Structure 1
């Protein structure tokens, strides 16, 4: 998914109310389970191929969590992200969102 698609998805996610309450994940645990994410989104969420995979470092944790919930639950259709999010627990999502939100965007 390119950056424009990611932005549109994020906007639609927020507009349709899929964003929940404030994310309070464990940053350290998020870092520990982020290896699959960084394969595409880059180290610390800073993509090395932003035309293909958006950078997620420094994005709002609630936005990231809402997107991951949407991919996992089938509310957002994406052939790349849905399988990656399918196995995530609610806690995994909160922790990943907290980790990437805490990273510095480059």
Structure 2
């Protein structure tokens, strides 16, 4: 095998491992979602002007929470998202994505 090909395999393997390690914990997300229920419903079904979160792709939820946290996407969610750790964001995304 050519050295370049081996290097690509090694890099790809670490990339996949990094994604797997970054995945959220559904049970932890459920616990952390308590505050979210006031606007998004007890099981993420959405309420009034607040969107449903249940069943949305985890990656989309992570991106939205990160954008709210950094202020990239201005919203009243900024105050809530600002206090979330990267793991909190992963956990919440995993929980809401698991609700089908």
Greater helix content: 2
| Equivalence for 1:24 | 23
Counterpart of 2:93 (choices 85, 93, 97) is 97
- Cα RMSD after superposing both structures: 1.4
| TM-fit CA distance, 1:43 | 1.3
Matched positions, count = 81
| TM-fit CA distance, 1:48 | 3.2
Pair member with larger Rg: 2
Instruction: Name the TM-score, length of structure 2 as normaliser.
Output: 0.76
SS in 2 for 1:43: coil
Instruction: Name the TM-score, length of structure 1 as normaliser.
Output: 0.72
Counterpart of 1:60 (choices 57, 61, 66) is 57
Residue segments in structure 2 that go unaligned for 5+ positions in a row: 1-18
Q: How far apart are the structure 2 equivalents of 1:54 and 1:67?
A: 12
| TM-fit CA distance, 1:93 | 0.1
Residue segments in structure 1 that go unaligned for 5+ positions in a row: 1-20
